Amino acid sequence: MLDKILNFFRRLIPGKIFRFFQPFYHWLLSFTAVLVYRFPSRKIFIVGVTGTKGKTSVLEIINAILEKAEYKTALVSTLRFKVARETERNELKMTMPGRFFLQKFLRRAVREKCQYALLEMTSQGTLQSRHRFIKPDAMIFTNLAPEHLESHGGFEKYKKAKLHIFKTLEKSNKKRKIIIVNADDKNAKDFLNFDVDEKWVYGLKKDFEKKEGVNELRITNYELRTEGSHFEIGDKKFTSRLLGEFNLYNILAAVAFARSQAIDWESIRSAIEKFRGIPGRVEFIEEGQDFKVVVDYAHTPDSLQKLYDVFQSSRRICVLGAAGGGRDRWKREELGKIAAANCDDIILTNEDPYDENPKEIIGQISKGISSPFKYKIILNRREAIAEALRIAKAGDAVLITGKGTDPYIMGPKGTKIKWDEGEVVREELGKIKKYG
């Protein structure tokens, strides 16, 4: 209610004046929220995860390990909100919710006697001070790649916003502050350069400069298979159902956190082996068909390439539209180039046009697809998916990217179309008769 009242007064203030007072306005919202809910982060162990990719997966794997070790958890992610055993889908169309939501959520987690609260923390959230007055105990950095460049004003400012989240940990008054960093990311040293009690690095490569007092966790040997992965951490052997090298990094980040909490190796191993993945992240849709169908949130050039790499041995039919209206125009042509270099068939479709013309968005993606390569444009996303399924043959991989578990397709002037990508795929599979 208070959030709505303050937003009402915001609309009455002329734009230039509001921009001048904007930092104070966001600070005031955050401070009001934490007062109303009585500083809940002081009474629970807060784990923040930030980075361009992998945040949701890392949080969910950590949650699985903590639950296996019989801890009570709360979780806020792109996918869902969870307190103890109660969970609900995130339908807010934002990874990091508003200040009042977060503080109320943390107060509820404290009331339910949760020991850990796991939060995705985003650079865009920091622009509005949503992280203010949340006192983290541990921060995890996954990776950094160009994203949200237009809203931040360039890559360096985007990186600075991510580092600002880690600065929150350094300033936190928690007793034992922990940083966990992907050592294989070229920005790792910047994220390690904070004064905290405990530091961990993780990775697959062996050329990271070792530093005294920094705990190191590395996969020493691994094998990626079509049904999952096999890997070793020191003398410990693991199997996982998760596909791709990128998921090994997600697993390592979660294991590093678990070890920082002295969770035993057997609980970690058991949780990883049983973890089936999460909806919308390399999610296989199986309805008895003789070809693979995968729904994935991949919406950056790097994540798209990594997804395509997983299915190199298959003929790839790609449904592509990962370029929301009004933002990140720089990546559209690049997405087209990656699709052309990796896919056997491409169908360009709508995603979240907002107030931009969908045809113009798709036109910019298509600039990256060199001509003699043939592709189809089907604006209706359901029809695009149906066409991809129709042309698929035995052994093919239909890769549908950009939405994942997003609950809506966003149109002009704030209009929303209710959407469930996985359910749409199942419905369209049910209409074709390529399998018995």
Alpha-carbon 260 to chain mean position: 23
The answer to whether residue 27 is domain-embedded is no
Choose the weakest-confidence range: 35-39, 110-114, 429-433: 429-433
150 and 233 co-located in one domain: yes
Q: How confident is the model at residue 401 (pLDDT cuts 50, 70, 90)?
A: very high
3 pLDDT exceeds 60? no
Q: Which of residues 241, 274, 307 is at a domain's end?
A: 274
40 and 179 co-located in one domain: yes
What residues contact 174, with CB distance under 8 A and at least 6 apart?
A: 46, 135, 136, 137
Compute how many other C-beta atoms are within 10 angstroms of the C-beta atom of residue 218. Answer: 17
The answer to whether residue 160 is domain-embedded is yes
Angle at the Cα of 103 from the Cα atoms of 16 and 403, rounded to 5 degrees: 75
Which alpha helices (H) appear in 138-264, and where do they start and end?
A: 149-152, 155-171, 188-192, 245-260
386 pLDDT exceeds 70? yes
The answer to whether residue 190 is domain-embedded is yes
In 3D space, the residue among 264, 289, 266 whose CA is nearest the CA of residue 425 turns out to be 289
290 and 260 co-located in one domain: no
Q: Which of residues 214, 244, 274 is at a domain's end?
A: 274
Q: Which secondary-structure segment (H or E) carries 75? A: strand 73-76
13 pLDDT exceeds 60? yes
Compute how many other C-beta atoms are within 10 angstroms of the C-beta atom of residue 207. Answer: 7
The pTM of the full predicted model, rounded to 2 decimals, is 0.89
pLDDT of residue 393: 96
229 and 101 co-located in one domain: yes
Segments forming the whole domain that contains residue 335: 283-431
CATH of the domain at 157: 3.40.1190.10
248 and 305 co-located in one domain: no
45 and 184 co-located in one domain: yes
Q: Which of residues 242, 274, 306 is at a domain's end?
A: 274
266 and 304 co-located in one domain: no
The answer to whether residue 407 is domain-embedded is yes
CB 237 within 8 A of CB 230: yes
Distance CA(268)–CA(356), nearest Å, equals 46
287 and 336 co-located in one domain: yes
CB 271 within 8 A of CB 65: yes
Compute how many other C-beta atoms are within 10 angstroms of the C-beta atom of residue 43. Answer: 14
DSSP 414: G
Distance CA(164)–CA(149), nearest Å, equals 16
60 and 83 co-located in one domain: yes
pLDDT of residue 16: 62
256 and 179 co-located in one domain: yes
Written as one letter, the residue type at 301 is P
pLDDT of residue 28: 83
Q: How confident is the model at residue 64 (pLDDT cuts 50, 70, 90)?
A: very high
CATH of the domain at 323: 3.90.190.20
List pLDDT tens digits, range 299-322. Answer: 889 999 999 999 999 999 999 986
pLDDT of residue 91: 86
pLDDT of residue 97: 74
Q: Of 165-169, 269-273, 364-368, give the range with the top mean pLDDT.
A: 269-273
What tokens were used for 353?
Answer: 């046009």
The answer to whether residue 19 is domain-embedded is no
Compute how many other C-beta atoms are within 10 angstroms of the C-beta atom of residue 88. Answer: 9
pLDDT of residue 15: 63
Total count of domains within the chain: 2
Q: What's the mean pLDDT in 139-159?
A: 78
Compute how many other C-beta atoms are within 10 angstroms of the C-beta atom of residue 212. Answer: 4
What residues contact 133, with CB distance under 8 A and at least 6 apart?
A: 30, 31, 33, 34, 39, 41, 103
Q: What's the mean pLDDT in 261-275?
A: 98
Of 8 and 428, more confident: 428
331 and 269 co-located in one domain: no
244 and 301 co-located in one domain: no
Backbone angle region of 403, left / alpha / beta, with phi > 0 → left and psi within -120 to 50 → alpha: alpha
